[in-house]
Amino acid sequence: MQFRKGGQGDERRRRVFRDEMLAASNEDGAASSESLKTGDDVDGRTYSDAAAAQRQPSLTSLLPQRSLTLVALFVLGGIAITGIELLYTKFFIGLPDQFRDSLAVLDVASRGSVAHWFASLTLFTGAIASQLVYLIRRHRLDDYRGRYRVWHWATVCFLLASFDAATGAHAILQPAMIELTGKTLLGDGTIWVAIVLGCVIATCLVRLAIEVSGSRLATSFLSLAAGSYVAFLVVSFHPALSTAELTRVVAESATLLAGHFVLVYSVALYGRHVYQEAQGTRRATRKKPVVSKPSEPKPETAAPRKRARLFGSKNVRIDSAHEKTSGESKTVEAPTISKKSIQKTVATNVNDQPEESDRSMSKAERRRLRKLERRQQRQGSESDE
């Protein structure tokens, strides 16, 4: 047996295949060396993957989530309000007159003071919190009427209130209302400002209370804010405090700042409530629809069936399955059925049918009648035999 010897063609194919493999390996090596040399210059990135937009916290994460954080914020707010009032009473009041103009920033009754700055900053924070609540609240599935839009209006109201707290723009209401009505109430007409702003604030608080009613904690603090505003009005216009100027100024400033802070705090609490509902860590507060239970259908009592009587027989007494038979009752034997009784019964049934009916008989009825006649004839012949 002889093996085939390789010729020049086989050698040529082997050489071409070897050259292709060497060329591919050279290209891969050049590409790898180039990537090692250039390194980060080719990618152009100077930050790690942790700086990507997908890994950055969202805006809604600014809402306070931990209970300790909420308690700390409340304590800090109380300390800030107390510090502002103490600076006014313990430091500013005791200053000589030549230093009061330069330190007017500590005067809680003057515009541009620390108290007004704190009120403006607090209300601006409320606007941010309202917008964060809106970003989550608009995705609620059962809000068919779009009540989440109230948080847009809340944001606008907080921004206007922040602007007014910083500039004191509400002072224009006093001369404007006096000019429109021609009346000054309670002296210089300052009460016009309280009436107009009181109506606006009361309307906003009622609408906001309806919205945050799902959170008991937020509703409680919102009620506390409303009480602070009412206390501010009482302190401002109560005649008993008209003589105690220092007490009245401090009480007005403290109640107003407390009302602003507690109002924003209630919005933050509701934002936490909504965020936890959206993340599934809190059970959603939904009112269960009142569904009346369908009345149970009465069991239908089966109508007693009439027992078919045997041809030419009398009534037979039959005891029920659970009824005890009396010992005195005698068993009744069913009568025997003979061929003659059957013949008589069939004959009477045939004779009872009218010979002539008002309508023509159908094909099935005629077939049944012929079958019955043949049966009668057959029975008659058997009886004759």
Burial class (CB in 10 A: 0-12, 13-18, 19+), 243: exposed
pLDDT at 367 over 80: yes
Instruction: Specify the range with the lowest mean pLDDT, choosing from 220-229, 262-271, 294-303, 350-359.
Output: 350-359
What would the pLDDT profile of 274-314 be if each residue is shown by its tens digit?
A: 988 888 877 655 555 555 565 566 555 555 455 444 444 45
Angle between helices 191-211 and 216-237 (to 10 degrees): 170
Cα angle 316, 321, 324; round to 5: 85
What would the pLDDT profile of 86-95 be if each residue is shown by its tens digit?
A: 998 888 887 7
pLDDT at 268 over 90: yes
Give, in order, the Cα–Cα distances in Å from 322 to each of 101, 310, 317, 328.
109, 25, 15, 18
Give, in order, the Cα–Cα distances in Å from 273 to each of 196, 268, 276, 290.
32, 9, 5, 25
Query: What are the backbone angles phi and psi of residue 321, rounded to the nearest 5°?
Result: -70, -35
Q: What number of other Cβ atoms are within 10 A of residue 378's Cβ?
A: 10
Amino acid identity, position 107: D
pLDDT band at 71 (very low <50, low <70, confident <90, very high): very high
pLDDT at 39 over 50: no
Instruction: Specify the range with the lowest mean pLDDT, choosing from 15-19, 21-25, 26-30, 43-47.
Output: 26-30
Looking at residue 181, what is its pLDDT? 83
Looking at residue 205, what is its pLDDT? 93
DSSP state of 115: H
CA–CA separation, 370 vs 238, rounded Å? 115
Closest CA to 229 of 207, 209, 199, 208: 199
Residue 164 · residue 116 · CB < 8 Å: no
Give CB contacts under 8 A, 24+ apart, made by 349-357.
350/376
pLDDT band at 56 (very low <50, low <70, confident <90, very high): confident
What would the pLDDT profile of 137-192 be if each residue is shown by its tens digit?
A: 888 888 888 888 999 999 999 999 999 999 888 888 888 888 888 887 777 778 88
Looking at residue 25, what is its pLDDT? 61
pLDDT at 63 over 90: no
Q: What number of other Cβ atoms are within 10 A of residue 58's Cβ?
A: 9
Q: What is the mean pLDDT of the chain?
A: 77
DSSP string, 208-269: HHHHGGG-HHHHHHHHHHHHHHHHHHHHHH-GGGSS-HHHHHHHHHHHHHHHHHHHHHHHHH
Residue 189 · residue 174 · CB < 8 Å: yes
Calculate mean pLDDT across residues 125-146: 90
Looking at residue 314, what is its pLDDT? 52
Instruction: Specify the range with the lowest mean pLDDT, choosing from 126-140, 218-232, 354-368.
Output: 354-368
Looking at residue 41, what is its pLDDT? 46
Domain coordinates in residue numbering, the chain:
59-279
Looking at residue 210, what is its pLDDT? 93
Side-chain half-sphere of 189: how many Cα atoms within 13 Å?
A: 14
pTM of the predicted model as reported, rounded to 2 decimal places: 0.61
Looking at residue 36, what is its pLDDT? 46
Looking at residue 316, what is its pLDDT? 53
Calculate mean pLDDT across residues 203-228: 93
DSSP string, 119-148: HHHHHHHHHHHHHHHHHHHTT-TT-TT-GG
Closest CA to 157 of 197, 117, 103, 211: 197
Which SS3 state, helix, strand or coil, does residue 331 take? coil
Looking at residue 183, what is its pLDDT? 81
Burial class (CB in 10 A: 0-12, 13-18, 19+), 76: exposed
Instruction: Specify the range with the lowest mean pLDDT, choosing from 40-49, 56-65, 172-181, 255-264.
Output: 40-49
Burial class (CB in 10 A: 0-12, 13-18, 19+), 211: buried
Looking at residue 329, what is its pLDDT? 47
Looking at residue 92, what is its pLDDT? 83
Which SS3 state, helix, strand or coil, does residue 14 take? helix
Calculate mean pLDDT across residues 186-202: 85
CA–CA separation, 179 vs 173, rounded Å? 10
Residue 117 · residue 305 · CB < 8 Å: no
